[in-house]
Amino acid sequence: MYIELVWMAFASTAAANIGPLPLPEPTQLFAPDNGLLKLSPEPISALAGALLPFLFTQSGSPVPTSAQDSPSSQTPSPAATSTTPSPAATSTTPSPAATSTTPSPAATSTTPSPATPSTTPSSTPASSSGYNNGGPKVPGSTPSVSRSASRSASSTPGGSSSSGKTSTNYCMGAQTTQTPTEYWLHAQDHTGNGRGYAPFVEGNPSYPVYRDVTAYGAKNDGTGNQTSAIQQAINTDGQGGTRESKGNTYMPAEVFLPGGVYTLGSTLTLRLGTIIVGDPLNRPIIKASSDFIGSTLVNGQDPASGHPETVFMIAMRNVILDTTDIDSSYSFTALQWGIAQGCALSNVEINMPQDSVGHIGIHLNGGSTIAVTDVTINGGGIGIQNSNQQVNFKNINFNGCRTGFAATGGFTVVLQSATFQNCGLGIDMTKNDLGSMVVLDSRSTNTGTLVKFHDSSNDSGSRNSQIVIENLSSSGQYPIAVTSDGTTVLNSQSYVDTWIYGNDIPGSYKAGESAYTTRPSTLLDGNGRYFIRKQPDYSNYPASQVVNVKKVSGLPVKGDGVTDDSTNLNAILRQNAANCQITYFPYGVYILRDTLFIPPGSRIIGEAWAVLSGAGSAFTDTWNPRAVVKVGYPGDVGVAEIQNMRFTVSEVLPGAILLEINMAGTNPGDVGLWNTLTTVGGTADTSVSTSCINQDPSYCMAAFMHVHLAESSSAYVENHWGWTADHNLDGGPSVIVISSGRGILVESTRATWLVGTSFEHNWLYQYNIHSAQNIYAGMMQTETPYMQGEGAIQTVPAPWSISNQYNDPDYSWCSSTDQHCRSALSTNVDGGSNIMLYGSAAWAFFEGTWNGLYNTPCASGICQTNMMRVTNTTHNLAWYSLSTKSTDVMVLDAHSNPREYNNPGGWSGMIQAYRQFMA
Ligand SMILES: *[C@@H]1O[C@H](CO)[C@@H](O)[C@H](O)[C@H]1NC(C)=O
Ligand SMILES: *[C@@H]1O[C@H](CO)[C@@H](O)[C@H](O)[C@H]1NC(C)=O
Ligand SMILES: *[C@@H]1O[C@H](CO)[C@@H](O)[C@H](O)[C@H]1NC(C)=O
Ligand SMILES: CC(=O)N[C@H]1CO[C@H](CO)[C@@H](O)[C@@H]1O
């Protein structure tokens, strides 16, 4: 009660302070970014590998970002640089233009520029199938005899129905309208047999996965200084020691904050493998005291990992960060979030002083994370300052920030469903340190210029700061786009369909061109935006509706990394679906020797990325691959929500499909994944991490495929990392050579949303979008396996075989010995229609054999011949912001085959609008 009153008081003050005019535009007030980023850009995981041998022995090169390390840490430092451009600024950020390995091109005049086909609006709806059209749901427009159906029959788990379809659809729609007084997670058994159990923590069977900060003495009444108590809850190993510098995956900590106000007097530092969870019924406020020592409230970038690109497995959700008691002129950061893949930030609010010049809400100080979702930022000098390599920001609300989003580095950003209200400036790209920005489905109200940016149209060499704006609505008083010198290049207007500033294919660089994008209606919500859905927290369910899989009588489940839990878990999932109950997986490594079938009516939530791990002979036959986890049978319609889970293999399993989704929902998002991972090797819980040391990848064909979105599926996937490991996160050999067959196969025709996903180091491709229809994807990040290309021991497809059943690209366009050509495609778009892709970040770094040192870039500067491919006349393919590194042909499409050479920007090549197949 007290808390709410405090916040309401603040909110009304805030409202009173905001006049009809937007804040004045700031002058430059960027905080200097991490000095490490002065280095020429490194591969995402490179620094990880380089540092790994030292991970447990203090690397000696901690990132100098924590407040304690700063010389001015004894008192908050005034924002000396806030009213003048910071001289250091330009030299401390990476230059995306550092493409010294690419030939220096002559602009884009060498590309043909045929008439652009898509500059007129289409008056017909793009799609006639799907959710927005009413009537019974039919599986797309393809013939009803489905390949996936026949294929799936052969991979039916022994213990489950063998029919092609689940007979009953359970638990449709919303389940409860109650408002419980206690969050169900808090009410779980956290000390008895039902608690999370980390089987790979040696010698500590009572290691506490779950920590309630109040049990460590933290007070939530706004008094005192709670930093040390909460830090202790994060740090403790449960037996008097610390988790600090103890790796990523075997010692997870889910740290729960009940509602209330936690006042901190110094920086709280998260550790690898830490999940901060606030009570969503009463989001806890983490508040900087007025006498705070330091300049960062919460540091998510564990200093022990050395570089932001190696900060894996950190998450924070359901919290409010508050810096309103810190002088608004001081340089102060609410959240330092220089982190990597496998991390999550969701349902977070940040409150900063109004009219601030020095406060930053979230500072993504480097790193390589994929998604930041559902964040509201009030006040402050800068809402988000970003130099992360590639990020999908989704549903971000900037209210009264002097600058909403400040780009200080990185290569590509998708800003989806952002709102700017009462801000001085929406997006600042004047530093020219960001390659590309897509502003999608966003709204600007009473905000100054939406985007101020460096005009790279006449730059020689790399052209950065490229922009696409699509589906923007604006309250209209202020210009939409203005260049650094103040020239308005897109006037104020209430609506922008599509506007392009950057490399355009077919054609050449467009210095501001209006265009139209035809969106399939089935992908849209009621407001004409691409459908999005917030991660469910089940806060309206009483604890009695939540079933802990380790507490079901008669169906014992261990999660101990040894016992086969598949039979009992299958029974529990069937039972929970039938009873409309939520399935809670306390942390554990749940071994599956048979397929785990997730039936319609399932709601599954893990603690700290609970692990489902395939094992044994069911998954060894590469000619008859089987799903380790299978969501529905082809044709099933229902609810299947899955979150905070990791899917993996506990040994080399060439016939394992980690996750197969066949189910669709009645409504968009009924089948959804939030904050999930598929991993193959690299973690403490699998023998793949220790056994795969032969340089010949045929010795370690560790999984058939990460994820299959089958033809009848319709899924919403937010923040998923599909990683075939290039290094070990938690000890083991320093060189591992793992070959997983495939990343994600997307064959869905009904509607698919991929909001911030990544697939790395898979052998035949990262994304294969085959005969698919109605696909939305925002930010698809990939890396090519490090042991392909020139000098590779195995040449694609070897050691794998092309599977016609799974519609593999067959590389028949390459000569049989051309290893540069026979390197994994980042994204293969094969036929299909209505494929809407926003933000690809496709990186290649190494070739030949893998030395684990990250120090030998591809000899010619070009690792592979083709990065993307489009074939079989895809209809209405819109591909905005396509970034590649160290490839020759960016898109092999048999039309213009655009090359990096002609489209320099970003890490090496960038196409801001690829509209070759839009119709
Ligand atoms: C808050 O506590 C931390 C940890 O004990 C301490 O380092 C810091 O100085 C305290 N802050 C203030 C303002 O006293
Ligand atoms: C870029 O060059 C073109 C052609 O020389 C010229 O017309 C245009 O004004 C230049 N733009 C800027 C921003 O200098
Ligand atoms: C694409 O074209 C190839 C070669 O023409 C053909 O074998 C394949 O079946 C086609 N795929 C689709 C999805 O039509
Ligand atoms: C945020 C925004 O501008 N949304 C628009 C997207 O486009 C549809 C029409 O296709 C508009 O109705 C929305 O307002």
Higher-pLDDT residue of 109, 234: 234
Q: Which atom of ligand 4 is nearest to the CA of 528?
A: 8
pLDDT above 60 for 43:
no
pLDDT in tens, 693-737: 999 999 999 999 999 999 999 999 999 999 999 999 998 999 999
Determine the pLDDT at residue 876.
98
pLDDT in tens, 391-412: 999 999 999 999 999 999 999 9
How high is the mean pLDDT of the chain?
85
Q: Atom 3 in ligand 2: which residue has the minimum CA distance?
A: 458
State the ligand closest to the CA atom of 416: 4
pLDDT in tens, 631-666: 999 999 999 999 999 999 999 999 999 999 999 999
From the list 574, 546, 548, 645, the residue with the least C-alpha distance to 196 is: 548
Determine the pLDDT at residue 46.
35
pLDDT classification of 207: cutoffs 50, 70, 90: very high
Asked if the peptide bond before residue 136 counts as cis, ω within 30 degrees of 0, the response is: no
The DSSP letter of residue 77 is P
Query: Collapsing DSSP states into helix, strand and coil, what is residue 151?
Result: helix
pLDDT classification of 15: cutoffs 50, 70, 90: very low
The finding on whether 831 has its CB within 6 A of some atom of ligand 3 is yes
Higher-pLDDT residue of 386, 32: 386
Higher-pLDDT residue of 457, 477: 457
The rounded Å distance from CA 829 to ligand 3 centre is 11
pLDDT in tens, 823-876: 999 999 999 999 999 999 999 999 999 999 999 999 999 999 999 999 999 999
The finding on whether 455 has its CB within 6 A of some atom of ligand 2 is yes
Q: Atom 3 in ligand 3: which residue has the minimum CA distance?
A: 872
Helices and strands in the chain: count of H runs, count of E runs: 6, 48
Determine the pLDDT at residue 166.
74
The finding on whether 539 has its CB within 6 A of some atom of ligand 3 is no
Q: Atom 13 in ligand 4: which residue has the minimum CA distance?
A: 528
Determine the pLDDT at residue 845.
97
Task: Calculate the CA dihedral of residues 223, 229, 230, 236 and round it to 10 degrees.
Answer: -170
Which residues line ligand 4 at a C-beta cut-off of 6 Å?
A: 441, 443, 471-473, 527-529
| Dist CA 703 CA 719 (whole Å) | 21
pLDDT classification of 131: cutoffs 50, 70, 90: low
Q: Atom 12 in ligand 2: which residue has the minimum CA distance?
A: 458
pLDDT above 60 for 909:
yes
Determine the pLDDT at residue 722.
98
The finding on whether 168 has its CB within 6 A of some atom of ligand 3 is no
Query: Mean of the pLDDT values across residues 594-609?
Result: 97
Q: Atom 11 in ligand 4: which residue has the minimum CA distance?
A: 528
Q: Which atom of ligand 2 is nearest to the CA of 483?
A: 13
The model carries a pTM of 0.86
Determine the pLDDT at residue 460.
94
The residues facing 414 across adjacent strands are 392, 438
| Dist CA 20 CA 916 (whole Å) | 43
Q: Atom 8 in ligand 2: which residue has the minimum CA distance?
A: 458
Q: Ligand 2 test: best mutation among 454, 458, 460, 487, most atoms within 8 Å of CB?
A: 458
pLDDT above 80 for 687:
yes
Q: Ligand 3 test: best mutation among 805, 872, 917, most atoms within 8 Å of CB?
A: 872
Q: Atom 10 in ligand 2: which residue has the minimum CA distance?
A: 458
pLDDT above 50 for 55:
no
Determine the pLDDT at residue 164.
64
pLDDT above 90 for 674:
yes
Determine the pLDDT at residue 11.
29
The rounded Å distance from CA 706 to ligand 2 centre is 48
The finding on whether 458 has its CB within 6 A of some atom of ligand 2 is yes
State the ligand closest to the CA atom of 440: 4
pLDDT above 50 for 667:
yes
Kindly give the pairing relationship between strand 626-631 and strand 596-598. Answer: parallel
Instruction: Indicate the range of 89-103, 315-329, 483-497, 549-563 predicted with least confidence.
Output: 89-103
State the ligand closest to the CA atom of 125: 4
Query: Mean of the pLDDT values across residues 3-22?
Result: 34
Q: Which residue has the tokens 């309630």?
A: 212
State the ligand closest to the CA atom of 235: 1
Higher-pLDDT residue of 181, 758: 758
The finding on whether 486 has its CB within 6 A of some atom of ligand 2 is no
Structure tokens at 670: 């009924």
Determine the pLDDT at residue 248.
84
| Dist CA 659 CA 626 (whole Å) | 9
| Dist CA 917 CA 40 (whole Å) | 35
CA 886, 890, 896, 901 dihedral sign is negative
The rounded Å distance from CA 14 to ligand 1 centre is 29
Structure tokens at 810: 């067959």
Which residues line ligand 1 at a C-beta cut-off of 6 Å?
A: 225, 227-228, 265-266, 289, 291, 293
| Dist CA 176 CA 603 (whole Å) | 13
The finding on whether 711 has its CB within 6 A of some atom of ligand 3 is no
Q: Atom 8 in ligand 3: which residue has the minimum CA distance?
A: 872
The rounded Å distance from CA 55 to ligand 3 centre is 47
pLDDT in tens, 766-776: 999 999 999 99
The finding on whether 35 has its CB within 6 A of some atom of ligand 3 is no
Q: Atom 1 in ligand 1: which residue has the minimum CA distance?
A: 265
The finding on whether 872 has its CB within 6 A of some atom of ligand 3 is yes
| Dist CA 593 CA 618 (whole Å) | 7
pLDDT in tens, 254-313: 999 999 999 999 999 999 999 999 999 999 999 999 999 999 999 999 998 878 999 999
| Dist CA 365 CA 907 (whole Å) | 17
pLDDT classification of 72: cutoffs 50, 70, 90: very low
Could you give the domains of the chain? Answer: 2-42+185-516 (2.160.20.10), 535-540+555-917 (2.160.20.10)
The finding on whether 179 has its CB within 6 A of some atom of ligand 2 is no
Structure tokens at 529: 């935006």
